[in-house]
Structure 1
Amino acid sequence: MKLIEHKIYIVPLQFDSSKLITRATGLKYASDMTWDCDTIDHLDRHTDKLNIIDCRITEAECEFLENYISQHKTTPFMLTIADPYESKCKDHWYYKMLFRVKNMPNVTFLTKYLPAEIVKTLQDSIPEDKMVFIPYPFVDSYSSSSNFKHRRKKVIFSGSIGSIYPYRCRFRRRVKLNPLLWSKVTFLEHPGYADIGENLKHQVIGEAYIDLLSNYRFMFVSPSRCGLEFMKYRECAYARCVPIGKAPDSFSEAMSSAFLHLDFDRIYQSLQKCFSIPVDELEARSKSYYEAFAAERNPEILNKKLDAFLESRGFIE
């Protein structure tokens, strides 16, 4: 394997990243990670680089990539992985390709979440030095005010509802059943995913979403059943809200320390306790949460972790 000096993020040829409601993939993700970007039809331009593959490539592009990898054994490839859910992913063309190429010597994997379900199965089937966990980067371009005295003493709740989100479902159900909490929580419907052809239900996305969050003292955030560190944890920090709910499995002690963990069997009592915290302490928690995120999830730190992984593989020195 040749030594590499540069990384290139490879995206699908015709995918419209502008339709994404977050910066979790595509051109925006590459930009946040400070990586150069190109489309999959230009692989021949980057045989001397680490080719980091976007997980949104099409079925035809997967077939092309698999053949290309096998024919270019001295070019290193890193395939990114997001969702780990077995029921959703096991029959998807991209995940099927991951298992077919997993033993090729020029293939490694970057998972954006701690391995779980199908990703854990993949991890368990390969050597330890073939997969690295690199969470989403923290890049604040919003500059939200942290002045809590002018914010609503309420919780803002948003996100999809379903079986893979047990904590969201329990919180939402308990609030809906308790009239004493109706004025304490604002629910924002999930906008939908325009990138997969859904019609957006509202335009409170991107900067408008962060602006909305920044009107509230508290934001409810929780992982899926797999304990995943969703983009919402960053968005909570961008908006300088105090996070309440449940921290993901990947948080360090510093990132968890500012978190207000709810007792999901006693939601009313937990929220009353949160609402009784003095505003100065809330502002300090918000600041601590923001600073921990900025310190541990900034692109420079994440790229250093990636470089250390690549060095251990002998790809760089």
Structure 2
Amino acid sequence: MPATAAVWGIVLRIIYFYSDTHPYEKAIYPGVGPAFARPLGWEVRPISGLDAGDFDTGVVDNRVEQTDVARLRRYLERPAKSRPPIFFRISDPDMPDTVNPNVRFIFNCADLPGVHYATTYDPEGPFLAFTRRLKTSGVARLPFAYDSAREIDAPLRGRSRRLFLSGANSRELYPVRYALRRRRRWSPLLRHLVHDLKHPGYPEQGRPPRHDITHERFVALAARFTHFLLCGTRFNVELMKYVECAYAGSVPVGVPANSLSAAAKQCFRPYTARSLDLMSDLREPILELESRAVAYRDAMRELRSPPKIVGEFIAQASAIAARRAA
């Protein structure tokens, strides 16, 4: 969908603004900066381009640096009627608890005229508490869009019947993932059944990467196995892995995120911590596994269709603007 979109009779020119200085090229997944907006068909522009004002609504990426904050502050100091509204994108339920002063600026702007929030996940935890304190700022949903160009068509018949496990290891934040890794450490059976890809680290923060299996390499590796573990943190939110499992054409295993459709949730088996249950799922007839994998991909294509996401965001942004004008 083009940057200027007509949905249900509403026309909005939306531009996605990203940091002028943040090292997006080092991000370990395509869910930040210009890469987030690309499947939506939105024009992307550095934050230094805010002053042009040639748009109806701006969405501002959450990776902001000190120079970006200075530009955003100057923009928001202008009279509200002379500048289009902006939505700060929220990509983590814990973001309001950050100690990063640049990210704290995003939340310090709450209830300023023309300032709203676009959340990738359903509001949960600290962000949910933050939204309940808002008086004039609105909140819109803006989930990860499904990018069909990233799909891999690798038949399940040629794959290893194992479970692909990946991501950061935190007992508090990822209890399901943490528990499986802990059991795998002591179980020869689970070490055989589960392929564990360690977290690559955070090169964006200046740390050396542990490996380079990210972006397309990540999906390609996942597509070597029949099953893909999904868990949505302690808040059970829809991480990008939920669409990446569909890109890989894999069978979802784990816990369906709260925000998934009934059609997507039906592709999961009820999750248990029993190794024999996992082995039973891995050994299902290949036709049944293929049916689940295809159904899951179809469900995610429909649920996270870019035109659908853009349409819903425009409707929410327009409703927020109408309420503020009333």
- Structure 2 matches for 1:1-317, cutoff 5 A? 5-74=12-81, 75-85=84-94, 89-127=97-135, 130-162=138-170, 163-264=172-273, 267-314=274-321
Contact kept, 8 Å, 1:181 with 1:268, in 2: the verdict is yes
CA distance in 2, matches of 1:185, 1:299: 33
Alignment-mate amino acid for residue 40 of structure 1 = I
How far residue 47 of structure 1 moved from its aligned partner, in angstroms, is: 4.9
CA distance in 2, matches of 1:261, 1:172: 19
| Structure 1, 28-37 or 285-294: larger mean CA deviation | 28-37
The unaligned stretches of length 5 or more in structure 2 are 1-9
Runs (4+) off by over 6 Å: none
Contact kept, 8 Å, 1:161 with 1:169, in 2: the verdict is yes
How far residue 67 of structure 1 moved from its aligned partner, in angstroms, is: 3.7
Alignment-mate amino acid for residue 236 of structure 1 = C
CA distance in 1, matches of 2:102, 2:90: 9
CA distance in 2, matches of 1:7, 1:60: 23
CA distance in 1, matches of 2:21, 2:153: 38
Question: How many correspondences in the alignment?
Answer: 311
- 1:93-147 CA distances to partner (integer Å, 9 max, x unpaired)? 2453233322123111100011122211221012597101221111022341241
How far residue 259 of structure 1 moved from its aligned partner, in angstroms, is: 1.4
Query: How many percent identity over aligned positions?
Result: 24
Q: 1:72 to 1:283 in 2, by over 3 A?
A: farther
SS at match of 1:141: helix
CA distance in 2, matches of 1:129, 1:306: 15
TM-score, normalised via structure 2 length: 0.89
How far residue 155 of structure 1 moved from its aligned partner, in angstroms, is: 0.8
* RMSD, aligned CA: 2.1
Contact kept, 8 Å, 1:157 with 1:219, in 2: the verdict is yes
How far residue 201 of structure 1 moved from its aligned partner, in angstroms, is: 1.4
- 1:255-277 CA distances to partner (integer Å, 9 max, x unpaired)? 1110133213xx21221221231
CA distance in 2, matches of 1:67, 1:116: 31
The unaligned stretches of length 5 or more in structure 1 are none
TM-score, normalised via structure 1 length: 0.92
